[in-house]
Amino acid sequence: MAYAIVFMRLGSGGNAIEPNTKAPGFRDFHNRIWAGGVNLANDERKLEYGKVHMNRLLQNLRTARFREAL
């Protein structure tokens, strides 16, 4: 959750964030970072990175494993 909040805040520049924009998959985005295809110095990429992490968090919160842990 921390990555999502920090990167969405940094990438937005204090502007409102459009909630309905698509973000790439978690694994795909990280593979592109490792391959040098993504530069997180760009505000748009920071925002995208935050959304990738937010989507992953939401996915994990919906799993049976999470419900069982509660």
In the chain, what are the domain boundaries? 1-12+41-70
- Per-residue confidence in pLDDT tens, the chain, 70 aa: 887 888 887 787 777 777 777 889 999 999 999 999 999 998 889 999 999 999 999 999 999 999 999 8
- Residues counted in the chain: 70
In the chain, the largest separation of any two C-alpha atoms, in whole Å, equals 39
Contact yes or no for 19/51 (Cβ under 8 A): no
Quick one: pLDDT at residue 32? 94
> Sign of torsion, CA 8 52 21 40?
positive
Quick one: pLDDT at residue 12? 79
Contact yes or no for 50/1 (Cβ under 8 A): no
How many CA atoms lie within 13 Å of 50's alpha carbon, on the beta-carbon side? 21
pTM of the model: 0.81
